[in-house]
Each structure stands twice: as C-alpha cells, then as structure tokens.
Amino acid sequence: MRLGIDLGGTKIEIVALDRDGAVRLRRRTTTPAEYPAMIEAIARLVEEADRETGARGTVGVGIPGSLSPATGLVRNANSQALNGQPLDRDLAAALGREVRVTNDANCLAMSEAAAGAGAGHRTVFAVIIGTGCGAGIVTSGRILDGPNRTGGEWGHTPLPWMRPDEFPGPRCWCGRHGCIETFLCGPALAADCDGPGARDAGSIPARAAAGEAKAAAALARHTDRLARALGMIANILDPDIVVLGGGLSNMAHLYSDVPPLMAAHVFGDVARTSIVRARHGDSSGVFGAARLWDAG
C-alpha cells in the first residue's frame, strides 16, 4: 500500500493507493495551527489507513515548501508553523518508518506523469499557477532534483525577455525582484487587472469575454508572460509536455493561446511542446505524494 499525504494550510488529506493505483481509502482533516498537533494528526491518519487497509504503507508527504539539504529543516513553506521544523525526521519517529517529503509541485508532476495528463511522456514539466507559481519536473518516472533541491523552482527565476515597462518587476516574498511568480500567480493577475490589493483573478476571463477591455488586456499580458516563461523552459529542458494545475489552470484560453505565443521564444524552427490541463486537479498533491516511493 502506498500512502500519500497532502499537508496544506487548511487541510491534511491522505490517500491509500494499492499496487494497481486504485484508491483504497481517502480522508481529510483540518490542519491544526501548531506543529506538534500536525504531526499527531498525520500519525493518526496513517495509523487508521494501516489498520483499515490491513497493510503497512509507504508514506510520502507533499508540503508547500521544501526540506533544506543543508539543515534538513522545512524552508519556504507558506505556513509559519512548518518552517524550520525537521518534518521528515519527526514523522519518521512518529510513524516508525522512513518518510519522503517534497513540495506540492513535484507531487503534481509525479501524479500527472504516472497516471495523468503526462502519462506516456518521458519528461513532464508540471506547473502550479494559483496563489503562488511553482513547477516540478519528472523525467523517466523520477523527480529531477539536485544538490540544492531546487529542481523546478522556475517560479523564482526572472521573467524572461522582460519588456522595459516590466523591469525590474515586483518584489517577491523570496527577496528578489521580477520572479515569474510575481507576474503569473493569481493575485498578480488580479492586481494587474484591478490594481494593488486585488486578489481574485477568477472572474477575469468571464469579464474579458463580456467585452471588458481592462480584463482582456490583463489576460493578454498574462498569457504572453506565461508563453515567454515556458519558451525559456523549452530552451533548457525541452519537456515533452507541460501540465498546468492550480486555480488558474481552469482558464481555457491558456491551452489555445499560449502555444503559438510560446513558439516565438523557442530557439530553432519547431515548437511542438504540448500544454495540457492536469487530469487530477486538486487531488494531484495527494496522489503524487503516494507515488514518491514508486521509482525506488
């Protein structure tokens, strides 16, 4: 049995996948505010899953952040209770088994590469565009990562082919200016359309379709920026397929409008990269976490 846990800011979800990838159990609970209570809540979910499935599962955990290779502590999580904690060691102690922890974009990439929109493709570049903007890379069934554990941290590279009016770009929470995330995430699109402080981009496509010029212009800028940001990825990684997840991945125009715009930024004379919507939607985090032991 493979247990996957998605540790989010508001909920903790667990899924148990059997050998064939069928869901044997799925459950969620509210995320406690304090760190020790989070460990207890996860331990309870795993104990229940072990008992109800009659098997001791492997455990993978997706978090909105990563483990520092220098300290082993959680960093860059948008949950203050989680930052600075030795999550994998504490969970291993609580569960009596080794635990694998990775970020939610890597989980999306694993889930979609194994049994989603990226199935059958060698290199999958999976993007979460929602409250933030991040990516994960799976190639030949494995997460591509290295000594800094920053593989796929595309959201914190500068927007490429920046125009004069875009330079140097908004200040990012990571301390830099002009990160892709500061242009592409939902709040960035909302603010570009409706001014500082606007947070909700969900209504913008409908407003653009209804003829609101401001909404259409903001969408066009956002689409062009995503095309540039993915064109750069084609020139470095050349993934077979790009899978979009997160709240903004529901915007249908991205799948028709980004590929032709992207072609202008891909070096050479072909631009064949497919861009598709994630198949598992919000469930990708938990499914991908369950698959963190798949590659051995």
Q: Which residues would be at the binding site for Zn ion (CB under 5 A)?
A: 156, 172, 174, 176, 179
Of 222, 120, 145, nearest to 180 (Cα)?
222
Taking the least distance from each CB to Zn ion, the nearer of 53 and 150 is 150
Q: Cα(104)–Cα(61) distance, rounded to whole angstroms?
A: 9
Nearest approach, Cβ of residue 148 and Zn ion (Å): 15
Taking the least distance from each CB to Zn ion, the nearer of 156 and 280 is 156
Nearest approach, Cβ of residue 154 and Zn ion (Å): 10
Q: Cα(59)–Cα(17) distance, rounded to whole angstroms?
A: 11
Instruction: Say which residue the tokens 């104990």 belong to.
Output: 47
Nearest approach, Cβ of residue 220 and Zn ion (Å): 24
Nearest approach, Cβ of residue 184 and Zn ion (Å): 11
Taking the least distance from each CB to Zn ion, the nearer of 68 and 250 is 68
Nearest approach, Cβ of residue 179 and Zn ion (Å): 3
Around Cβ 36, how many Cβ atoms within 10 Å? 12
Distance, C-alpha 29 to centroid of its chain: 21
Cβ-contact 118, 110 below 8 angstroms: no
Taking the least distance from each CB to Zn ion, the nearer of 172 and 276 is 172
Per-residue three-class SS string for 95-128: HCCCEEEEEHHHHHHHHHHHHCCCCCCCEEEEEE
Taking the least distance from each CB to Zn ion, the nearer of 26 and 176 is 176
Alpha helices in 98-212 (DSSP H): 104-115, 180-184, 186-194, 204-209
Nearest approach, Cβ of residue 250 and Zn ion (Å): 24
Taking the least distance from each CB to Zn ion, the nearer of 2 and 222 is 222
